[in-house]
């Protein structure tokens, strides 16, 4: 009954924090080392067993669709050159998942983007993965959330401890402990609390497993913070409804917020230094570079 097979990836935001790079390119297509951020996220969904991926796109959607489609001319050129490694890289994103697309039209908020998935998802629970959060593959957060959903049947959000001075950037949860050490019952949620007013240090990060009733709640959700239809506002209603209910899985692994310049830089440097093909040379350069920074503030 609680089997989840579909992943929804909202990628229709304006990405204003990356302008001008995002003037003609969705921020989800910005590269982390040599693959677009969104490819890490589609890979994560597939590794969690979700092979049906619906991407919610906005303006500049072509770059996203093309990335997961065949690139016949490029492939032919690589075949002619005998460049089998790059050919495999190009083909990897094509065969990854069954990709589907829906347009958001106006970017009226994350809640509005999720609502656009309604007819594709139907009456089943589904996962939502934000393209600007990269979760370290070593800590399979989504698998754990799907497991918790299968056991309890409630919607599940991912929570992560953040520094108090960062809480205003997130949705923040009021929680109660459960029998499982990494699972909490969410009793309240507030989107981007004013500094000093956050109810806890547990912030919602970009992974969700949602019951289909969330669509009815979203239909009735009015614009909230920033004039946008906020997913957090709908989740607060779910949390207060005993029949629906909301759980949180507390994530203690590594996560990169690639929707932010600092986060994208940190992801690029960290993942490049860990890559088998690049790491040794890059780490050597990085050490030498860091040594030159010593006397700068």
- For the bound state, the minimum distance from the C-beta of residue 149 to ligand UTP, rounded and expressed in Å, comes to 21
Q: Tell me how crowded residue 7 is: count the other CB atoms within 10 A of its CB.
A: 28
Q: Tell me how crowded residue 180 is: count the other CB atoms within 10 A of its CB.
A: 14
Instruction: Scan for tokens 């108090």, then name that residue.
Output: 164
- For the bound state, the minimum distance from the C-beta of residue 11 to ligand UTP, rounded and expressed in Å, comes to 5
Residues contributing to the site for ligand UTP (CB under 6 A): 10-17, 27, 56, 104, 107-110, 112-113, 130-132, 259
User: Is-contact 62 69, C-beta < 8 A?
Assistant: no
Instruction: Give the residue with the Cβ less far from ligand UTP, 12 or 183.
Output: 12
Instruction: Scan for tokens 């399979």, then name that residue.
Output: 140
Instruction: Give the residue with the Cβ less far from ligand UTP, 17 or 51.
Output: 17
- For the bound state, the minimum distance from the C-beta of residue 44 to ligand UTP, rounded and expressed in Å, comes to 14
Instruction: Give the residue with the Cβ less far from ligand UTP, 64 or 186.
Output: 64
Cis, peptide link before residue 20, omega less than 30° from 0: yes
Instruction: Give the residue with the Cβ less far from ligand UTP, 12 or 271.
Output: 12
DSSP state for residue 60 in the 8-state scheme:
T
- For the bound state, the minimum distance from the C-beta of residue 77 to ligand UTP, rounded and expressed in Å, comes to 32
Token pair for 264 = 């994208």
Instruction: Give the residue with the Cβ less far from ligand UTP, 193 or 259.
Output: 259
DSSP H helical ranges for the chain = 37-47, 61-67, 72-81, 84-92, 110-115, 118-121, 141-152, 214-219, 231-240, 261-274, 279-292
d(C-alpha 79, C-alpha 71), whole Å: 12
Nearest residue relative to ligand UTP (C-beta):
13
- For the bound state, the minimum distance from the C-beta of residue 109 to ligand UTP, rounded and expressed in Å, comes to 5
Instruction: Give the residue with the Cβ less far from ligand UTP, 12 or 189.
Output: 12
User: Is-contact 207 158, C-beta < 8 A?
Assistant: yes
- For the bound state, the minimum distance from the C-beta of residue 62 to ligand UTP, rounded and expressed in Å, comes to 16
User: Is-contact 185 216, C-beta < 8 A?
Assistant: no
Instruction: Give the residue with the Cβ less far from ligand UTP, 58 or 248.
Output: 58
Instruction: Scan for tokens 């929680």, then name that residue.
Output: 175
- For the bound state, the minimum distance from the C-beta of residue 157 to ligand UTP, rounded and expressed in Å, comes to 14
């Amino acid at each position: 009954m609680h089997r989840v097979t579909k992943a929804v990836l909202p990628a229709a935001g304006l990405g204003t924090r990356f302008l001008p790079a995002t003037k003609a390119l969705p921020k989800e297509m910005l590269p982390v080392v040599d693959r677009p951020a969104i490819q890490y996220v589609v890979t994560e969904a597939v590794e969690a067993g979700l092979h049906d991926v619906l991407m919610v796109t906005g303006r500049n959607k072509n770059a996203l669709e093309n990335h997961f489609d065949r690139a016949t001319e490029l492939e032919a050129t690589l075949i002619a050159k005998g460049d089998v490694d790059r050919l495999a890289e190009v083909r990897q994103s094509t065969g990854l998942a069954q990709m589907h697309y829906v347009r958001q039209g106006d970017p009226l908020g994350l809640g509005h983007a999720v609502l656009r998935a309604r007819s594709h998802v139907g009456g089943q629970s589904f996962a939502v993965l934000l393209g600007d959060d990269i979760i370290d593959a070593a800590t399979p957060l989504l698998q754990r959330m799907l497991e918790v959903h299968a056991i309890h049947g409630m919607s599940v959000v991912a929570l992560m401890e953040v520094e108090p001075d960062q809480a205003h950037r997130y949705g923040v949860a009021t929680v109660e402990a459960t029998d499982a050490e990494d699972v909490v019952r969410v009793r309240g949620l507030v989107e981007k609390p004013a500094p000093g007013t956050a109810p806890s240090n547990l912030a919602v990060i970009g992974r969700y497993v949602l019951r289909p009733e969330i669509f009815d709640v979203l239909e009735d959700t009015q614009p909230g913070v920033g004039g946008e239809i906020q997913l957090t506002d709908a989740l607060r209603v779910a949390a207060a409804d005993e029949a629906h209910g909301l759980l949180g899985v507390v994530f203690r692994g590594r996560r990169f917020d690639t929707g932010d310049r600092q986060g994208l830089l940190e992801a690029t440097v960290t993942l490049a230094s860990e890559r088998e093909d690049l790491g040794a040379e890059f780490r050597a350069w990085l050490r030498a570079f860091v040594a030159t920074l010593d006397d700068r503030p």
